[in-house]
Amino acid sequence: MGHLEVLEIVKPFKRRSMLAGVTVLLTIVIVVFITKVPMHPVAYVRVLNEAGVPVAGAVVFPEGLRTKPGPYVSGWYGWRTATNGGVANPPVTTDGEGYARVPYPKYVFERIETGTLCLSVNHPDFVPDRPERVVATAPPSGAPWQIRVNALLNQIRRKSLIARPDPIVLKKGAVLVVQVRNAAGPGSRVFAQVSGVAAHLTNFWSNPEPGVLVTRRLAAGPRTVRAVQVDTDGLAWFSDAESFTAVAGQTNEVPVDLKRGATVSGQLDSTVPRPVKNGRVVAHVWPQGCRPQDSPPQWHAWAALSEDGTFSIRALPEGDLEIVAMCEGFVSTNGPGQFQTRYPQKHLLGTNDLAITIGMEPTARLEVQVADDKGKPLKDVRVVTWPNVRYGEWSSVILMNDCYNSVDRLLSEPAVRSLWGTEVQDFQGMSDSSGLAVLRNVPATVNRLSVDHPRYSLPAVGTARDGKSRVARFTLTPGQTNRLFIYLELTEQTPIAHY
């Protein structure tokens, strides 16, 4: 009897011990799962050659994002770590099987889901590529059941219930040899610019002997190339832009001669009072006869304006010159263009120096009073406008955000090169304790602004089908102080979503 009593006491004890052990084990598994499984999606991108063999050592760089298809479809978005869940975009190198593990944000912004990654791929043995790959095919959250069922049926028909990005296939390139016949001696550096190839690419050119540049990674098709030599004074000399057709596996030899770059100098017109404050001039030159959409060799430079309103930009190649200027209270008048945006003034630049006068017009001062949804002033809200300037009827950048020199980028190390300049303080302001933000120098053609705050935002306007946005619209009167009152709301209350 006593033996049986002992067994009855031990059995419950064993059960409790086993239960506790299982609980501890499950807790450990859950903790490990939570810590190991990423809190954001990951795409496994594979890189192959034309024979289907994996390419190891290819550098995959995530450049941008596109939204999922659906009622809300928008364009290309830059990768902004601070606003997309903290997902960084460092370059990733493919492994022995050709795979690169690329984390990406679930949302492009707010609740608009990511569907496509915009990538660049670079390997020293192949033509560089900038592919886009669909990484998420499930319908966006909130999609009607009919759309979800159709998406599932399509996956079943394709016999693929797991979304896998199509592999990236790298190609062997054409060989291009650029021979600079009148290259200078020691101390001068020779470079080449070729259409369709990013200037910041590393290991693209080799320099086997003085005055000779060689690449084996040029994509097939029509191309334009120009040689550039930087002399010991830091000034650029240019060859003509030469056109040819590259054929994969074949060698193209292009002999060129260099000539001195021209100087563009001049002054602002008399509408701008002197002394001129915080003035700068930006110049961009396209080869004459080339289409900007083909990304031909191009040249960019800028200079500060003197207090007397004069400027000088040295060593520019001949071609179609576009120029913009800005100073305290004034901006250059618009040149010819097709759209409602800011355009440079245009000139034809030859081999001789050019003197010009830049037409100017007044900017506006904008005072923005910021309040929350209860009408109380909000402090530390960044109010931003973005007046774009459109070069070559093709590419746009925020006005005066591109104060850089092409020659400096050629001479600098890749790690310190920047694709953009610094933020333009003229077009933004931070609200003070009274909720007042001041934008002191805004072109009068600007008619929209946005805000940046960790918790508050402008109410969303527009429709999901056309694309919602958080902007406030207004009209500016040049040469005057303009005032605007805006109310913000908690972003989490009404997030922008596909449905």
Kindly give, in sequence order, each residue whose CB lies less than 8 Å from that of residue 404, ignoring residues fewer than 6 positions away.
300, 302, 418, 421
- pLDDT 10s digits, 220-242: 999 999 999 999 899 999 999 99
- In CATH, the architecture of 42-170 is Sandwich (2.60)
- pLDDT 10s digits, 111-155: 999 999 999 999 999 999 999 999 988 899 888 888 888 877 776
pLDDT at 151: 74
Is residue 186's pLDDT more than 70?
Answer: yes
Q: What gap in Å lies between CA 224 and CA 222, rounded to an integer?
A: 7
pLDDT at 241: 97
Is residue 9's pLDDT more than 50?
Answer: no
- pLDDT 10s digits, 15-35: 555 555 556 566 554 444 444
CA distances in angstroms from 391 to 90, 259, 401, listed in the order given: 30, 25, 13
- pLDDT 10s digits, 90-123: 999 999 999 999 999 999 999 999 999 999 999 9
Q: What gap in Å lies between CA 183 and CA 236, rounded to an integer?
A: 12
Fold annotation for 175-258:
Immunoglobulin-like (2.60.40)
Which sequence spans correspond to the domains of the chain? 1-37, 42-170, 175-258, 262-493
- pLDDT 10s digits, 317-358: 999 999 999 999 999 999 999 998 999 999 999 999 999 999
Is residue 439's pLDDT more than 50?
Answer: yes
pLDDT at 418: 53
For residues 320 and 348, the answer to whether their CB atoms sit within 8 Å is yes
DSSP 481-494: EEEEEEE-EEGGGS
Fold equal for 175-258 and 262-493: yes
Mean pLDDT of the chain, nearest integer: 89
Mean pLDDT throughout 435-447? 98
pLDDT at 374: 95
Sign of CA dihedral 234, 240, 246, 251: negative
Mean pLDDT throughout 160-179? 87
Fold annotation for 262-493:
Immunoglobulin-like (2.60.40)
For residues 249 and 174, the answer to whether their CB atoms sit within 8 Å is yes
pLDDT at 154: 73
pLDDT at 16: 56
Q: How many CB atoms lie within 10 A of CB 376?
A: 8
Amino acid present at 308 = D
Burial (CB < 10 A; 0-12, 13-18, 19+), residue 491, is middle
pLDDT at 414: 58
